[in-house]
Amino acid sequence: MKLAPLGAASLVSPPAQLSSRRVAVIGGGAAGLVAARELRREGHKVVVYERGAQVGGTWVYTHEVESDSIGLDPSRTIVHSSLYSSLRTNLPREVMGFRDYPFVATGRPNRDSRRFPGHQEVLRYLEDFALDFKLDELIRFQTEVSDVGLEEDGKWKVRSRTNGVDGENVLDEKYDAVVVCNGHYTEPRIAEIPGIDQWPGRQIHSHNYRVPEPYRDQVVVLIGSSASAVDISRDIAAVAKEVHISARSMPEDSYGKLPGHQSMWLHPMVISALEDGAVIFQDGTTVYADVIVYCTGYKYNFPFLHTNGVVTVDDNRVGPLYEHVFPPSLSPWLSFVGIPWKIVPFPLIEFQSKWIAGALSGKLALPSQEKMMNDVEVFYSSLEAAGIPKRYTHNLGGCQFEYNDGLAAECRCAPTEEWRKQMYAATSMNRRARPDTYRDEWDDDYLVLKARDDFAKYLS
């Protein structure tokens, strides 16, 4: 998928006097942290709103799950973490980290030195990042943003609620700009299955999966083919009677045992569910299941954001967004960090944050609103012509490095390191060749050495 071309900010001379803006950042996960760092580096005054008690966002693990296991009840108790206990990164730490803050093994006690570490190590890395760049002083913890809207004077009003010892405190404040970094792993997407309302078994979205024990000796149908689907299916298979994996991406003739696994079966997509507990697949095969686990992704959701219809979410397309960041008619005063998926997130959100910070200061000039809107429309038309559904608008899996390097050119900084691109490709190949062991067996140590050589300039 080819992106619309970026503007020509890198060719525009910066103004003699750069502007310092008052900027609200919504969210204290990885995106919010790097956005705050880049905004402050550019001279802006930054406030980060974080509803939790610590930094890390989706990387903060909790045993808690939601009151509605598939996330359809709007009145459910919402849990913001989607981590499962056994999660290890599916990318090597060298690829994952921010470009000037390498994700290296620290050697400190109680840290995970593995190349593909567990989720606790990623959280420790983000905590180190926040500490070393003194970002905690910018963050208001346990403060939830309930409303963001544009005022008549051109400022953004941000209403927040803080729960403290004296009760709830509601505060309205004005900002020049708002950067939305609230993540997109909280609102589950569920496959539509005819007959599911009469099906008697248990249903759960992966958002509420934590440990395999509740599935012991059960027959489980798992829908999805994402990284979490691969991990969770293997996690459950260690205790379940059978695990049947189904996905739209699997061909009709895909039925059969997963090689190397005695209790795991591959199927084409589920087409219906019956009152007697049967789950029927596209090829006509039937499984009587106890549980259906949906590893079917998430919806973008910005319940606090009110733009009078300028920014909408339509079939999981957030738009219109110029380069997945700026709504043209509200740029640069409203922006989004971390919308793309199927990518290496930390370097991408770092590039986006640099671009936003420079655009707000006036160091980098965006194209005209008309040019940005035209580029968005051309991009959307190209997706439609290629038969790509709206819900895949932000899937940059095939062009993330082209996208990153375009942003790098805008920001007048170095493009993605070649070793990082090569290591990502090598890991993808290794994951396909060794799906069960790629995190512990690899053949790209020569790229690890190149990465360490590159890291030396940041670690000395």
Average pLDDT, consecutive stretches of 10 residues, N- to C-terminus, the chain (460 residues): 42 60 98 98 98 96 96 92 97 98 95 98 98 98 97 96 83 98 93 97 98 98 94 97 93 86 95 98 96 97 96 97 98 98 97 98 97 98 97 96 98 97 98 96 98 93
Could you give the 3-state DSSP secondary structure of residue 153? coil
Rounded-to-integer distance, Cα 267 and Cα 258, Å:
10
33 neighbors 129 (Cβ within 8 angstroms): yes
Beta bridge partners of 204: 293
Q: CA-to-CA distance for 70 and 293, rounded, in angstroms?
A: 9
Residue with tokens 């992966």: 206
Q: What are phi and psi of 225, to 5 degrees?
A: -135, 15
Tell me, what's the pLDDT at 253?
A: 80
Question: Would you tell me how many other CB atoms lie within 10 Å of the CB of residue 270?
Answer: 23
Whole-model pTM: value is 0.94
Cα distance between residue 169 and residue 172, in whole Å = 10
Q: DSSP label at 88? A: B
How far apart (Å, rounded) are the C-alpha atoms in residues 174 and 13? 30
Tokens of 78: 């919402």
pLDDT of residue 1: 38
Q: Which of 34, 25, 54 is nearest to 100 (CA)?
A: 34
The pLDDT of residue 157 is 98
For residues 201 and 160, what is the distance between their CA atoms, to the nearest angstrom? 40
Cβ 445 vs Cβ 428: under 8 Å: no
Q: 367-398 burial, b if ≥16 CB within 10 A, otherwise e?
A: beeeebbebbeebbeebeeeeeeeebbbbbee
Residue with tokens 């070393």: 132
pLDDT of residue 460: 72
Specify whether the CB–CB gap between 84 and 211 falls below 8 A: yes
Half-sphere exposure of 178 (CA within 13 A, CB side): 28
Using CA atoms, how far residue 120 sits from 65, 214, 385, in Å, is 18, 23, 43
